[in-house]
Amino acid sequence: MSSGILEVVLVDAKNLMDTDAFGKIEPYVVIRYGNQERKSRVSRGSNPTWNESFMFNVECPKGANDQHKITFRIMDKDTFSADDFVGESIIYVKDVVSLGMEKGTAKLPPTKHRVVLENKRYYGEIQVGVAFISKCASATHQFEDENVQDIGGWKQSLHVI
């Protein structure tokens, strides 16, 4: 079984639907990957900025062909009633995870994704980046670093027998 860490960088959102009749929207994002869930801090306005990173554990059984997806559920924080659903965006990261398993790391720079409303119409966008590092690559990289010396500007590996 292969495993690794998926880092999700929640940057910002633009033109979110204002669900408040009075006052400004106070959006936050519930990020879900598999059965893991993280929650951003609450921001203000229909063009919020978060600049937050979230880590998720990834377990990939060999031969598994399941779809890796991250769901971003944007909510409006309400004080005196239940929080309102603003919109949702789903990003499929199977290719990023597969490439990361193969090469050790893979990165998808911050990219804009459409926000889908309950009625399935698009309204606004969310900007998110994703990076994956294989735990095997992480351990190998750490092992390599321990066995390399810098000698007069040259790197020399120490081979332990």
Q: What is the pTM of this model?
A: 0.80
**Residue 63 tokens, joined:** 């031969």
Domains (range + CATH), the chain: 2-157 (2.60.40.150)
Write phi, then psi, for 98 (nearest 5 degrees): -60, -45
Cβ count within 10 A of residue 51: 11
Nearest to 73 by CA among 20, 1, 10: 10
| Tens of pLDDT, residues 48-106 | 999 999 999 998 765 555 568 999 999 999 888 899 999 999 999 988 988 888 898 99
> What are the tens digits of pLDDT across the range 97-149?
888 888 989 999 999 999 999 999 999 999 999 999 988 754 444 444 444 45
Taking CB atoms within 8 Å and a gap of at least 24, the contacts of 63-69 are 67/92, 67/94, 68/33, 68/92, 68/93, 68/94, 68/96, 68/97, 69/33, 69/93, 69/94
